[in-house]
Amino acid sequence: MPELDLPQRQTTDRLMLTGFWYRAVPADRVHRNQLHKATLLEIPLVIGRDREGRPFALRDTCPHRGMPLNSGKFDGENLECPYHGWQFDVHNGQCQLIPSLTSDQTMKVDRIYAGSYPCEEQDNFIWVYIADPGPQGAGFAKPAEAPDPAPQIEKFSEKYKLAYLQAEMPVSIDHGIIGLMDPAHGPFVHQAWWWRTRHSIHEKRKNFEPIPNGFRMAAHTPSSNSAPYKLLRLYADADSISTTIDFVLPNIRTETIRAGKYWFSSLTTVTPITRTHCRIDVVAAWNLFRWVPFVPGLLKFVFAKFVEQDRRTMEMQAEGLKHNPHLMLIDDADRPAKWYFQLKAAHLESKRTGREMKHPMDGPATLKWRS
Ligand code: FES
Ligand SMILES: [Fe+2]
């Protein structure tokens, strides 16, 4: 039985993968000409919007002597460090001014850069691309470029509603993610009289298949375990409803439910904040019930309930994890968790060797469990 490596025993770059987009902050919390502090993968960031409203992300550390930049002066274009007044362009981090230089001192100010990260706004969130760490000797490194745009929720019609919720959890990214994909905790953690009880446990059988960087629970007529599914049943026959759930590295779970012209789509991420803390962000889009005033609220209520139950569970789990216990993963219920760890290892191996990533699944697989 493979053992689970606790974050305390892992190096940060094995625990938290660089070279990916991460959700940083909900877009509505960051206003024009304002600065906002955030942490991703133990990197302190200052996130803001310029005077046009375009978001940016800088490392919250002045390349001169390390002063946090978030308390600096920001004029909507350049950010001034509060210590010696160096000024940086917020979009690429390039130094614009060093006030202490005299007119005959010819230091090339524009060769200096504050750390700067590609930044995009997508589906109500500001996403930040965390590149692989560059060579040491920072201060002169130009910002990295993201190879792809930030991930997007799949939408199947022009008009739709969008909502998000988030929760912070005092566990490592690994525990956050395997908790998210774990099918066996449902009847114990997500009990409610209006939902299900532990007496509703029954045997399940699901088909999975490999997809690039992840795996898919194949399109199927769902069992009754998902909240939007229960609501969709009011609109369509059970057998016209199909749902697909994907997980892809580093941290993305997407769920798509379609019933004729109606659809519900969500993109959930678990974001590493520090090695012992992560944050779950669920963003959902849907085109059903748009015109029924209270249903979006109800949907959000159901989701919030779930997320809160998971958060509380992981808070308790964190107590147990403090003492560095030995852990285990069992078949089949923990197989998705095993795939996650194998995918991560395969990804790191391919980065190390430069060879194509070898997918840990050699083909479709059927898993069985009771939940
Ligand atoms: S520490 Fe920022 S200007 Fe000196
Ligand atoms: Fe859960």
Ligand 1, residues at Cβ distance < 6 Å: 62, 64-65, 67, 81, 83-84, 86
Average pLDDT rounded to a whole number, residues 242-258: 93
Phi, psi of 216 (to 5 degrees): -125, 135
Average pLDDT of the chain, as a whole number: 89
Residue with tokens 């850069």: 113
Q: Say whether pLDDT at 44 is over 50.
A: yes
Q: Which ligand is nearest to the CA of 82?
A: 1
Edge-to-edge strands, sheet with 35-40 = 35-40, 43-49, 55-59, 116-117
pLDDT, residue 135, reads 59
| Portion of the chain with pLDDT greater than 90, in percent | 68
Strands (E), the chain: 20-26, 35-40, 43-49, 55-59, 73-74, 78-80, 87-89, 95-97, 116-117, 119-122, 125-130, 161-169, 203-211, 214-220, 241-248, 252-259, 262-274, 277-286, 365-370
Looking at the CA of 84, name the nearest ligand: 1
Query: Given the structure tokens 């909502």, which residue do they identify?
Result: 163
Atom of ligand 1 nearest to the CA of 69: 2
pTM of the model: 0.91
For tokens 């999975």, what's the residue?
A: 208
Reply yes or no on whether the pLDDT at 187 is more than 80: yes
User: Which of the listed residues 83, 87, 98, 109 should we mutate to test ligand 1's pocket, taking the one with most ligand atoms within 8 A of CB?
Assistant: 83
pLDDT digits (tens, 9 = 90+) for 202-238: 898 999 999 999 999 987 665 555 666 666 666 666 6
- Cα 72 to ligand 1 centroid, rounded to whole Å: 10
Confidence band, pLDDT 50/70/90 cuts, at residue 6:
low
Which range, of 9-23, 181-195, 272-286, averages the lowest pLDDT?
181-195
Q: What is the pLDDT of residue 345?
A: 96
Give residue-wise pLDDT tens across range 74-88: 999 999 999 999 999
The Cα–Cα gap between 24 and 44 comes to 11
| Cα–ligand 1 centroid distance for 356 (angstroms) | 43
Highest mean pLDDT among 84-98, 137-151, 180-194: 84-98
Of these ranges, 109-118, 239-248, 291-300, the one predicted with the greatest mean pLDDT is 109-118
Counting atoms of ligand 1 from 1, which one is nearest the CA of 66?
1
* CA 64 – ligand 1 centroid, Å: 5
Convert the pLDDT of each residue in 116-156 to its tens digit.
999 999 999 999 999 998 655 557 778 889 999 999 999 99
Instruction: Categorize the per-residue pLDDT at 12 as very low, low, confident or very high, splitting at 50, 70 and 90.
Output: low
pLDDT surpassing 70 at residue 293: no
Which of 60, 79, 86, 109 for a ligand 1 pocket mutation test, highest count of atoms within 8 Å of Cβ? 86
Report the pLDDT value the prediction gives residue 65, as an integer from 0 to 100.
94
Q: How many CB atoms lie within 10 A of CB 125?
A: 25
On whether the CB atoms of residues 8 and 324 are closer than 8 A, the answer is yes
**DSSP string covering 275-320:** TTEEEEEEEEEE-SSTTSTTHHHHHHHHHHHHHHHHHHHHHHHHHH
Mean pLDDT of 179-191: 89
User: Which residue out of 46, 59, 61, 64 has the highest number of ligand 1 atoms within 8 Å of its CB and is therefore the one to mutate?
Assistant: 64
Q: Give the pLDDT score at 1.
A: 45
Please give the distance, rounded to the nearest whole angstrom, from the Cα atom of residue 263 to the centre of ligand 1: 51
Instruction: Give the closest residue (by CA) to ligand 1 atom 4.
Output: 84
Cα 59 to ligand 1 centre (Å): 13
Q: How many CB atoms within 10 Å of residue 150? A: 20
Question: What's the mean pLDDT in 244-268?
Answer: 92
Which residue's CA lies nearest to atom 3 of ligand 1? Answer: 84
Ligand 2 geometric centre to CA of 65 (Å) = 44
* Mean pLDDT of all residues in 56-83: 96
Q: What is the pLDDT of residues 158-172, one digit of tens each?
A: 999 888 899 999 999
Residue-level pLDDT at 220 = 67
The residue contributing the CA closest to ligand 1 atom 1 is: 65
If pLDDT is split at 50, 70 and 90, which confidence band does 363 have? very high
